């Protein structure tokens, strides 16, 4: 029996250095790119620091992840793609011309990502980007990405208030769900991808932190009540870096509303009947049943207080993530983070949460990864040892007493 865990981070981030996107753009955009890049001021301090090359330096990345006990990763975007004012998760597209340029920027990122993943065969599952403004263009990009070997699935943008897009429950997106089901493409919805702009005042930043996970959670009930999984039973949804402790309570709440509205829909004389009319036929199973058959959680740096909920969340649904290279991630203290969360948990359950579940969903090959893990992975015995003192300079929220919002 392997005495080390095969750890796959289901939440890491990468992207090209700004000017390195140029070769991946169609040539007709090169002049526009040169003009844009010459005046662009990056708003993110971490992308200007000496450590920024962790996003694109393949050799450094492999070395740092191995030193941290991680052998493979699901790669979400991080750097700014061409023609975006900020991260693509947060930027609406106000005009047709801007939309076309930003699509070109995302295609450049996806093509860079395919090369970046191929530099470490079998160890990176790249999450490619789309926009929702043109569904058929999104479908074409999904087919391209799968053919290019990007196994991490698509990154689903949000539809925040004011976006002008149909809500995610709309059947307008059925061609996207259909091709994802056909090609077995996971649909990933990452924290921060659905929040409306709130401004940059101190209060606005605080409100963003309070609300951003809620806006991210919305994708779950939109797709469930919209019937996406009923019409596309093979569709898989992954909710990443949104925590996991909220899931049991939200599923209870969604089941309650489902039962209440379906019952009301059969009684035409009640005031609530119009809210439940047609719901049972359009969405099928209860939300908790949909969760069990179709949904997963990218439980980045899972906190100790979330671990006892693993059976209610679904042991086979949880995929641990380090959030490398972000400051709130567990690097370089992943072994300590795993001890803080999983000491005392049966090894088979730990193995599933830190790697086995991600391997199955994203198509990683254990025959390739297990020998690497036998050399660098966290030991089973070491992970079982409770962490009594956190590293002095640790910054990840996993090192917070009892879930309180402060570092030990």
B/e letters for 328-360, b = 16+ CB within 10 Å, e = fewer, are ebbbbbbbbbbbbbbbebebebbbbbbbbbbbe
Q: Alpha-carbon torsion 166, 169, 174, 177, what sign?
A: positive
Q: What is the pLDDT of residue 128?
A: 98
Q: Alpha-carbon torsion 307, 312, 315, 318, what sign?
A: negative
Q: What is the pLDDT of residue 168?
A: 95
Q: What is the pLDDT of residue 93?
A: 65
The two three-digit tokens of residue 72, written as one number: 């493979």
The two three-digit tokens of residue 310, written as one number: 């693993």
Q: What is the pLDDT of residue 289?
A: 98
Categorize the per-residue pLDDT at 212 as very low, low, confident or very high, splitting at 50, 70 and 90.
Answer: confident
Q: What is the pLDDT of residue 276?
A: 84
pLDDT at 137 over 50: yes
Compare 295 and 282 and report the one with higher pLDDT: 295
pLDDT at 403 over 60: no
- Range with lowest mean pLDDT among 4-13, 106-115, 205-214, 369-378: 205-214
**Alpha-helix residue ranges (DSSP H) falling in 18-133:** 30-39, 58-67, 96-118
Radius of gyration of the CA atoms of the chain, in A: 21
What's the chain's average pLDDT? 92
What 8-state DSSP symbol labels residue 379? B
Write down the domain spans for the chain.
7-403
Side-chain half-sphere of 268: how many Cα atoms within 13 Å?
0
Q: SS3 sequence, 179-243?
A: HHHHHCCCEEEECCCCCCCCCCCHHHHHHHHHHHHHHHHHHHHHHHHCCHHHHCCCCCEEEECCC
pLDDT (average), residues 56-69: 98
- The residue behind tokens 């719901």 is 279
Tens of pLDDT, residue by residue over 229-272, are 999 999 999 999 999 999 999 999 999 999 999 988 887 777 78
Tens of pLDDT, residue by residue over 143-195, are 999 999 999 999 999 888 888 899 999 999 999 999 999 999 999 999 887 88
pLDDT at 406 over 60: no
Compare 331 and 2 and report the one with higher pLDDT: 331
Tens of pLDDT, residue by residue over 104-136, are 999 999 999 999 999 999 999 999 999 999 999
Strand spans (E) along 123-186: 124-126, 128-129, 154-155
Tens of pLDDT, residue by residue over 19-55, are 999 999 999 999 999 999 999 888 777 787 889 999 9
pTM greater than 0.85 (yes/no):
yes
Q: Do 294 and 184 meet the contact criterion of CB atoms below 8 Å apart?
A: no
Categorize the per-residue pLDDT at 91 as very low, low, confident or very high, splitting at 50, 70 and 90.
Answer: low
Number of helical (H) and strand (E) elements in the chain, helices listed first: 17, 9
Categorize the per-residue pLDDT at 10 as very low, low, confident or very high, splitting at 50, 70 and 90.
Answer: very high
Percent of the chain clearing pLDDT 90 (strictly above): 76
- The residue behind tokens 């925590």 is 243
45: exposed, middle or buried (C-beta count within 10 Å: 0-12, 13-18, 19+)? Answer: exposed
As a CATH number, domain 7-403 is 3.20.20.140
Categorize the per-residue pLDDT at 404 as very low, low, confident or very high, splitting at 50, 70 and 90.
Answer: very low
How far, CA to CA in Å, does 225 sit from each of 239, 246, 256? 16, 18, 13
Give the residue among 114, 68, 107 at the shortest CA–CA distance from 84.
Answer: 107
């Amino acid at each position: 029996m392997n005495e080390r865990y095969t750890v796959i981070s289901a939440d890491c981030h990468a992207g090209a250095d700004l000017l390195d996107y140029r070769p991946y753009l169609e040539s007709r955009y090169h002049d526009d790119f040169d003009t844009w890049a010459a005046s662009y001021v990056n708003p993110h301090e971490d992308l200007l620091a000496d450590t920024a090359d962790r996003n694109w330096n393949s050799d450094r990345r492999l070395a740092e992840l191995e030193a941290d006990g991680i052998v493979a990763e699901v790669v979400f975007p991080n750097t700014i793609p061409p023609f975006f004012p900020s991260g693509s998760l947060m930027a609406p597209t106000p005009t047709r011309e801007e939309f076309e340029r930003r699509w070109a920027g995302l295609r450049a990122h996806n093509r860079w990502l395919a090369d970046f993943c191929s530099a470490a065969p079998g160890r990176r599952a790249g999450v490619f980007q789309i926009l929702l403004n043109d569904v058929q263009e999104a479908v074409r990009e999904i087919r391209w990405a799968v053919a290019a070997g990007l196994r991490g699935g698509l990154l689903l943008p949000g539809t925040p208030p004011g976006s002008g897009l149909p809500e995610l429950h709309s059947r307008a997106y059925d061609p996207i769900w259909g091709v994802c089901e056909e090609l077995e493409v996971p649909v990933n919805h990452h924290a921060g991808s659905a929040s409306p702009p709130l401004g940059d005042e101190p209060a606005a930043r605080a409100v963003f932190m309070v609300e951003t996970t809620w806006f991210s959670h919305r994708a779950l009930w939109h797709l469930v009540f919209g019937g996406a999984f009923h019409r596309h039973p093979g569709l898989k949804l992954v909710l990443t870096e949104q925590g996991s402790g909220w899931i049991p309570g939200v599923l209870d709440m969604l089941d309650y509303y489902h039962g209440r509205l379906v019952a009301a829909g059969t009684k035409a004389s009640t005031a609530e009947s119009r809210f439940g009319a047609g719901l049972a036929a359009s969405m099928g199973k209860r939300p908790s049943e949909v969760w069990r058959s179709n949904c997963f959680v990218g439980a980045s740096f899972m906190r100790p207080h979330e671990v006892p909920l693993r059976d209610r969340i679904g042991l086979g649904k949880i995929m641990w993530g380090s959030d490398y290279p972000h400051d709130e991630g567990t690097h370089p203290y992943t072994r300590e983070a795993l001890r803080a969360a999983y000491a005392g948990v049966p090894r088979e359950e730990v193995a599933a949460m830190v790697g086995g579940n991600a391997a199955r969903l994203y198509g990683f090959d254990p025959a390739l990864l297990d020998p690497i893990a036998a050399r660098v992975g966290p030991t089973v015995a070491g992970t079982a040892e409770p962490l009594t003192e956190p590293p002095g300079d640790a910054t990840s929220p996993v090192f917070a007493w009892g879930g309180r919002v402060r570092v030990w």
